[in-house]
Amino acid sequence: DCQEEPRRAGSFPVMDLQDYCSTALSSPNLNWSTMAKLPPIKDGIVPWMRVLASNLLLWRFFEPLMGLIIVLNSVNIGWTIDRELQNKDTKVQAACEAVFFVIFTLELGLRVLVNGLRCLKLLPNAFDSVLILVTGTAMVTEPLLPLWGSE
C-alpha cells in the first residue's frame, strides 16, 4: 500500500496516492478554479511549492502535455539513431535529449515533492526514476569516454 501519512492540522491538503490517482483519472475537467489555493508564502516556501506542484500535476492538460513530450522524445531517439547510422553530427539531438531529460526530471521531482518518496512505489514512477538515473549517468559518462582511451 502506497499511501501518504496524514498531514498535521494547518498544513496544506495532501491526498494519498490512491486518491491522487483516482482524482487525476476521474476528473478530466479539473481546472484551476477547482484546485487548492496557494498558502501564503510567509508560511514557508515548501508548503507553497507543494500546493503549486500538486495543482500542476492535477491540471487537466498536464498528462496530455507529458504524453506529447514523450512522443517528441521518441521521435528524437529515432532521429538520433538514424543520424548516427549515417555518421552524421548529432549535436542537435543531444541538446534535445538534455531538454527532455530536464523535463522528465522535473516531472518526477514534482511527484516526489507532492507525494514523497513513497510515490516511487508506483511502477510508472519507479520506471521513470530508473530511466532518469540511467540517462543522467550516460549523459555524464559519455563525454568522459575519450579520456579513458579507446582500448
Positive or negative, the CA dihedral 77, 138, 98, 109 is: positive
pLDDT for 4 equals: 44
pLDDT for 34 equals: 62
Considering the entire predicted model, what is its pTM?
0.75
Contact 82, 90 (CB under 8 A): no
Cα Dmax for the chain: 61
Note the pLDDT tens digit of each residue in 88-119: 999 999 999 999 999 999 999 999 999 999 99
**pLDDT tens, per residue, the chain with 151 residues:** 344 444 443 444 444 545 555 554 445 555 556 667 888 888 899 999 999 999 999 999 999 999 999 999 999 999 999 999 999 999 999 999 999 999 999 999 999 999 999 999 999 999 999 999 999 999 999 888 888 876 5
d(CA 106, CA 5): 24
Positive or negative, the CA dihedral 13, 16, 17, 21 is: negative
Torsion of CA 100, 121, 4, 58, to 10 degrees: 30
pLDDT for 73 equals: 98
Q: Mark 110-133 as b/e (b = at least 16 C-beta within 10 Å).
A: bbbbbbeebbbebeebeebbeebe
pLDDT for 29 equals: 52
